[in-house]
């Protein structure tokens, strides 16, 4: 497995690269955001947010625009707002420094398992005028393609697989974020609000009080 470590501080990057290499990973380091964006696409990106040239959140967004590579943010910025923004821009996990190597490796394996296990639907999911094509990772409403982030698409697909059914917050966190690390479910509300705006009608996604959400059946 090829891992790209995006970290400008030698004191952090060097032992991290050495530790991951000992565990059998092929590791490349980028000390700047520019170098990370120019590097060949790896299997996993470990991304610091405080970089000397480009904000790490911008690097995350630009990587996600061109690839579905799993991105794990590894940073000292542990505020909830940073977590939510990172997730909304497409990060798959968020690790706050300081961290243990064993925990980080477990997270790497978790995100790669989830990516590898994601099923590709043979036929697009259709709910009235809404079409969700999991194979092509495209969604359209009344024939108009929706501009969705990776997590917005995954959330919409999770709801569209069973339209009309109430899907619990816990299930959505597990299916979309594979999360046991993120204690707050606020990130779901952020993504639901974004989806409602992009769908143009908040009634598409209904809140089920005390449970979670459901996609309106056609």
What is the location of CATH 1.10.10.10 in the chain? 125-215
Average pLDDT rounded to a whole number, residues 21-42 = 93
Q: Tokens 């990587």, residue?
A: 63
**188-192: long-range contacts at Cβ-Cβ below 8 A with a sequence spacing of 24 or more?**
188/155, 188/212, 188/213, 190/84, 190/87, 190/88, 191/87, 191/88, 191/151, 191/152, 191/155, 192/155
| CA 100 – CA 192 distance, rounded (Å) | 33
| Dihedral of alpha carbons 143, 145, 150, 155, sign | negative
Query: Please, are residues 36 and 4 in contact by the beta-carbon 8 Å criterion?
Result: yes
| CA 7 – CA 49 distance, rounded (Å) | 8
Beta-bridge partners for 189: none
pLDDT above 60 (res 24) = yes
| CA 57 – CA 203 distance, rounded (Å) | 31
Query: Please, are residues 120 and 137 in contact by the beta-carbon 8 Å criterion?
Result: no
What is the location of CATH 3.40.50.2300 in the chain? 2-117
Its CATH class, for the domain covering 2-117, is alpha beta
Least confident of 13-17, 44-48, 171-175, 188-192: 171-175
Query: Please, are residues 157 and 166 in contact by the beta-carbon 8 Å criterion?
Result: no
Least confident of 95-99, 141-145, 147-151: 95-99
- Closest CA relative to residue 68, chosen from 172, 160, 138: 138
pLDDT above 50 (res 93) = yes
Q: What is the CATH number of domain 125-215?
A: 1.10.10.10
Looking at residue 214, what is its pLDDT? 94
- Closest CA relative to residue 67, chosen from 93, 96, 45: 45
Looking at residue 213, what is its pLDDT? 95
- Closest CA relative to residue 25, chosen from 13, 38, 43, 40: 43
- Looking at every residue in the chain, the average pLDDT score rounds to 86
Least confident of 35-49, 91-105, 171-185, 202-216: 171-185
In angstroms, the first-to-last Cα distance of the chain is 43
Looking at residue 119, what is its pLDDT? 55
pTM of the model: 0.59
Looking at residue 183, what is its pLDDT? 47
pLDDT above 90 (res 78) = no
Average pLDDT rounded to a whole number, residues 78-105 = 80
Average pLDDT rounded to a whole number, residues 50-76 = 89
């Amino acid at each position: 497995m090829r891992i790209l470590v995006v970290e400008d501080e030698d004191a952090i990057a060097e032992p991290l690269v050495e530790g991951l290499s000992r565990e059998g990973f092929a590791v490349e380091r980028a000390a700047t955001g520019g170098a990370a964006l120019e590097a060949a696409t790896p299997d996993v990106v470990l991304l610091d947010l405080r970089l000397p040239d480009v904000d790490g959140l911008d690097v995350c967004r630009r990587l996600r625009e061109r690839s579905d590579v799993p991105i794990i943010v590894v940073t000292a910025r542990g505020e909830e707002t940073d977590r939510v923004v990172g997730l909304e821009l497409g990060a798959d996990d968020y690790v706050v420094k300081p961290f243990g190597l064993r925990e980080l490796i477990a997270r790497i394996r978790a995100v790669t398992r989830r990516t590898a296990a994601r099923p590709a639907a043979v036929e697009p999911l259709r709910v009235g005028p809404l079409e969700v094509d999991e194979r092509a990772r495209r969604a359209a409403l009344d024939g108009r393609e929706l501009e969705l982030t990776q997590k917005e698409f995954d959330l919409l697909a999770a709801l569209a697989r069973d339209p009309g059914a109430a899907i619990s917050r816990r299930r959505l966190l597990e299916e979309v974020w594979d999360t046991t690390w993120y204690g707050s479910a606020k990130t779901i509300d952020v993504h639901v609000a974004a989806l409602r705006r992009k769908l143009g009608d908040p009634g598409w996604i209904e809140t089920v009080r005390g449970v979670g959400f459901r996609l309106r059946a056609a």
